[in-house]
Amino acid sequence: MSSAGRTLVKPIEQGVGPLSAMLAVFSRDVRVAFRQRQDLLNPLLFFVMVVTLFPLGVSPEVSFLQQSGAGILWVAALLAVLLSLDHLFRHDFDDGTLEQLVLQPQPLFLLILAKTLAHWILTGLPLVLLAPVLGVMVHLDGNSIVILCLTLLIGTPVLSLIGSIGAALTLGLRSAGVLLSLLIIPLYIPVLIFGTGTVAAAGEGASVGGYLALMGAFLVLALTLAPFAAAAALRISMSNS
């Protein structure tokens, strides 16, 4: 077993509480991710390349980019998160750490929530931070860029939480990436629609409070249900592996 796996087991076996176990899982995932910098950079580079190349392949006209810029950024962010999901449980599955997580006395859904939070911090949050620069590139105005960043800040955790279910279901399968995309993309569509719709409404001067409230409801629903669903899916995948 890798040294990264051993560093996780010790603090959890000492009878610590659920919050301390979550912190141990979170901190370990962050440390391991920074040792594998390629996995961190790939989604960000993909996000930048898609947004950069889209105007070259479709149209560089300012009016077109202002109208479709939010959709371009949201689709690119969605695909970037999707690209990173295969690694959410894969490395832990390969080195045996995931099996230890399943056998821990702490609730599995809390440990999965900690792993998903680490995934969002390392993948979703950098996308939010990059969005203003790319928003200027596609000629969005200042108000639209602020709303875009706010929708991404609310929406990208939902993408990670929903994605954790698909990543757990496809763990250990052949062509898991393709199957993961087929399972998860339909569930991403409502978040995509409301994310781009919020920015479009802001650009037209309409109120965006209702849109943001619905996206907040998506986040609360995902936080409430997704860790339980991912834990059940993970137990099924581990029992079949």
Chain position carrying tokens 């339909």: 186
Spatial separation of the C-alpha atoms in residues 147 and 128, rounded to whole Å: 11
**Confidence band of 237 (pLDDT split at 50, 70, 90):** confident
Residue 169: exposure state from Cβ atoms within 10 A (0-12, 13-18, ≥19): buried
What range does the domain containing 138 cover? 3-240
pTM to 2 decimal places: 0.88
pLDDT tens digit sequence for 139-166: 898 899 999 999 999 999 999 999 999 9
Residue with token string 């490395």: 91
Residues 187-212 have pLDDT tens digits of 999 999 999 999 999 988 888 999 99
133 vs 227: CA distance, rounded Å? 33
Count of domains observed in the chain: 1
Q: State the pLDDT at residue 54.
A: 87
